[in-house]
Amino acid sequence: MKTVLVVDDEFSIALLLEAVLEDEGFRVITAANGRQALERMAEIRPNLIISDFMMPLMDGAAFGRAVRSDPAHLQTPIIMTSGLPESTIRERFEGHDAFLRKPFFEPALLKAVADALGR
């Protein structure tokens, strides 16, 4: 069973992503910000990270840079989500593998997950 780390400060979005991904057979771990996500990553090794960009304490850019600086997670795919355009995200963090603009629909999410995991 593949593990997905969902990082989003909006509880309703994290809960929705968790439900959709668990229905698809994934184990889902959630975190409310980048700092909490890094703590969770010390305990688990996710196969995929889905992270919001705008979050308190540690935003998606800082979190993404921290993930990419760890040799153990260099190859872990990151899907970045935001209501902002991807060009704005890339100005602060270029290390994501895919981007979903909020609001997104379930088929787009599942396609991005499948593509990121090479399914």
Rounded distance, CA 20 to CA 17, Å? 5
Query: Domains in the chain, please, with CATH?
Result: 3-117 (3.40.50.2300)
The whole-number pLDDT of residue 82 equals: 96
Render pLDDT for 56-81 as a digit per residue (tens, 0 to 9). 999 999 999 999 999 999 999 999 99
Q: Is the pLDDT confidence value at 91 over 70?
A: yes
Q: What is the pLDDT of residue 60?
A: 95
5-59 pLDDT, tens per residue? 999 999 999 999 999 999 999 999 999 999 999 999 989 999 999 999 999 999 9
pLDDT at 119 over 90: no
Strands 27-31 and 48-52: unpaired
- Contact partners, residue 61, CB within 8 Å, separation at least 6: 53, 89, 92, 93
Torsion sign (Cα): 54, 56, 61, 63: negative
Who's near 16: CB < 8 A, 6+ residues apart?
none
Whether the pLDDT of residue 88 is over 90: the answer is yes
